Amino acid sequence: MALDWLSRLLSRFSIQLGGSNPSSVWSYGRGSISENIFQNQQIQKFTPSYTYQINTKNILDHLDRVSNFSYANEAVNRLNTQRQANLDFIDSEVETLRNIVIPTPQFTSYERFGKRAKPNEVYDRPFSYGSGGGVRRWWLVNPVKKAQYESEVKEFALYKEDALSQINESINNFIEKRDLITSKAPFSL
């Protein structure tokens, strides 16, 4: 609101000083004093001396930035800090992967010891115990539970093999990344 009021006030002031169109920038001296100053500033930008001044200023600014090694030192320090952080991360990941242990679960029990077989059990190999008494006992096997046990053992063996191969592959990938990082010297000026 204040800007609108100020623009209307300046517009009236410009018209009172003899300006015919207060919105025309390129009025060639027929506008207000402020328009003429603005016009002169715009026209000056196309002169060779202004171009030379701008080019000289840009070149000097660029040379100042190039000659100021504090930016370069800071950039090198940041790169080396990031490099070390990457190496530390890779080392911790490899250590974690190497410490993974896959425990063997409790499988279905399919054997028991005794003298008599229950329904769905069969006699397996006999064994003796005692001191000279020669008492004979038998391992008794439930065929259904034995099939379930073998299925669980086979499934776990496949799972463990797959998991260990994935862990080894991940470790190899991390070691390759670490070798790639360490194959290059730290950054320096």
Backbone angles phi, psi at 185, to 5 degrees: -70, 155
Residue 18: which region, alpha, beta or left (left: phi > 0; alpha: psi -120 to 50)? Answer: left
CA distance 11 to 31: 11
Q: What is the mean pLDDT of residues 168-189?
A: 89
Q: What is the mean pLDDT of the chain?
A: 76
Q: Is the pLDDT of residue 182 over 80?
A: yes
CA distance 86 to 181: 9
CA distance 186 to 91: 18
pLDDT tens, residue by residue, 15-49: 555 445 444 444 454 556 666 677 777 777 777 77
Q: Which has more pLDDT, 187 or 112?
A: 187
Residue 112: which region, alpha, beta or left (left: phi > 0; alpha: psi -120 to 50)? Answer: beta
CA distance 8 to 51: 35
pTM score of the predicted model: 0.51
Here the tokens at position 137 are 């006992």
Are 97 and 171 in contact by the 8 Å Cβ rule? The answer is: yes
Spell out the residues 6+ positions from residue 122 whose beta carbon is closer than 8 angstroms to its own: 140, 141, 143
pLDDT tens, residue by residue, 144-167: 888 888 899 999 999 999 999 999
pLDDT tens, residue by residue, 43-66: 777 777 777 888 888 888 877 777
Here the tokens at position 55 are 């080019």
Cβ-in-10-Å burial (0-12, 13-18, 19+) of 121 comes to buried
Amino acid in the structure at residue 18: G
